[in-house]
Structure 1
Amino acid sequence: MVEQAPPEFHSRLVLEAQAHWPGKDYLRLPVKSSLILILASPRKRLLRAGSLLLLIAGGAHCGGSPSTPETGEDTDSAALAYTPCAQEARTGQFTVELGDGATSVQGRVLNGVVPANVRRAEAQEGECRLLRGRSLFCSPACGASQACDENGACIPYPTAQDVGTVRLQGLKADLSLTPNAANFYFNAGTSLPSPGLDEGASLKLEASGAQVPAFSLKGRGIPKLEVPSGAIAVERGKPVTISWTPPSTPGDARIQIVMDLAHHGGIAASLECDAVQDSGSYAIPAGLLTQLIDVGVAGFPKVTISRRTADSTETSVGCVELLTVSQTERELTLPGLVSCSSNADCPTGQSCQADLTCQ
């Protein structure tokens, strides 16, 4: 669908052209009778306007060489937007992980969101959020094949679905996966080179469809994440800077940082920073760190740092995403905290507690 551009649009183009290329007699060019504006996104309108300026500057008129048509088709060189599923909508995930000496592919799709997996955001600053587990209570208690939802009702526990054959194109070796008895997909029987895809390579996942109709997702090859070795110190009231080696050429990947101080203590809380620019360092705000410490600390706290691309799509059962990821973990140290696996790890006079701390 097209519409005739208004006269003021013609005038604005001529004025801008005169500013860029002085001395040209633009008013003699027959643009008013043929200038049109494609009804599309603002970006495409801007591109169309830029193309028309170039045509005017070159003296193009009716009967000149046609411009390249806009097909709207995706190309391998097109930027891949970072669009992971929201946690409250995520029912499925596939990952292509670049590990040490191996590349693994795995994933599954459930027929609903597990209520306990959705945490509430208690605070946010920049790209970081403090997430806490929700108190879900059902009376009477739910059965083994049920889950308690946020309304206090027992619902069928979401189960993994057959999505047909999952094919991945763009790896160094094309891969086709079929589900196991639990409808889980993984490349256990097929080894991949390390790394399994080249940096910047375009990746496409296609599910042929079964219990869930067919869908497709995109990914991008990323460089392996390199993080300095050694523990990272965390203190109340102080920001913490996480550092890594940035890519030589900026790409579509972003950094995710997940800090967990009590994963052995039964406390469902974490500090998560997502969609961080892959620039080489990021400072986690002091205020959020202090709030996380106040929730509670258990033994062996850690931070997980990931470089990843993320694409998602809506299916009949919810949002499904594809991640290409390279990640690593680092130990966190806090003043006064001694982690332990047994009493032998504790100072004299202290014993190892259930939360794996010496007291």
Structure 2
Amino acid sequence: MLMLRDDDTLFAALLARDPSYEGFAYVGVKTTGIFCRLTCPARKPKRDNVVFFSCTDAAQGAGFRACLRCKPLDSRRPASGALDLLRDKVKAEPDRRWTTEELKALGYDPSTVRRAFQREYGMTFAQYARSQRLGHAVSRLKQGGSVLEAQLDAGYESGSGFRDAIGRLIGDAPARTTARQILTAQWLDTPIGAMLAVADDAGVHLLEFAERKALPNEIKRLREQVAPIAFGRHPMIDTLADEVRRYFAGQLAAFTVPVVQKGTAFEATVWDNLRRIPVGQTRSYGALARTLGRPDSARAVARANGANQIAIIVPCHRVIGADGSLTGYGGKLWRKQWLLEHERRMADAHRTPASAMDRDPTA
């Protein structure tokens, strides 16, 4: 399961801009003295002009400077400047209703902004801002604010338009939201892409990468089986966000935040056993089936694995094919490979003496 690290493999990954090596491999270009991520959008150098490194310290120690375009010293993946700025502005002013003229005044082309948000969150900037605006309006209603106040805060001049928008968001009329349980949603940014988190006082109901194809159906199922969903802030998501941050920083191997999953008794047993697979290890579907005392149920285990909608915490990425192949993963195979390599290094770090870690931070 370890990533191949020979130079030919890494050069092929460089040409393909393979994101599964993010944070694990860097390329130095001898002719420029610059080192980059393998996903750098710059023109690719010739094979004879490159050298590969396992960490940024090694690249800098060899005299290479960090690329100003792909910014390999940043822990997060490089993103559009428009995405970073506008995401912060929406967070600071959740009630604001953005116009194309305002985007242009900031120096951004609206179509560029739309594509950047579509790539990262699976929705346009207008949809992203609207979801945050309506979520804030729902919070106002839950706190006892009037429908009119919430409507105006959300930027709706028409009461009927506001009611329709709230109805699409949480499946209920504004006046009735104060009496209903509502799940809270929030985007969490990670080094390998945005994740959607949904939680309430009981725990986390969903944690998925934005690109997961099944995500719309999972959201629909939550709305139908549990409660309406609105974007906003919740202490449970604050706790989750902190644990997710520490996990990706290599500081947390076991999550403590509670999870809430609805499934069959068999699915629940599979999900429970997924959480028992140690960090840095994998299991095949067949091996997991044998652990459950049902050696002929490998396919059923695979289906239950695919039905899991709390990624990373319930580590379905740790299940592989009997031949060692990665097999399917809803968050995309390159992320599965990234997560396994990240966890392998975390496990190695816990087994490595501190002095050795100081010498090689990527051990």
TM-score (norm 2): 0.21
Rg larger for: 1
Q: Which has the higher contact order (CA 8 A, sep 6+)?
A: 1
Structure with the larger strand share: 1
TM-score normalized with structure 1 length: 0.21
Structure whose residues are more often helix by fraction: 2
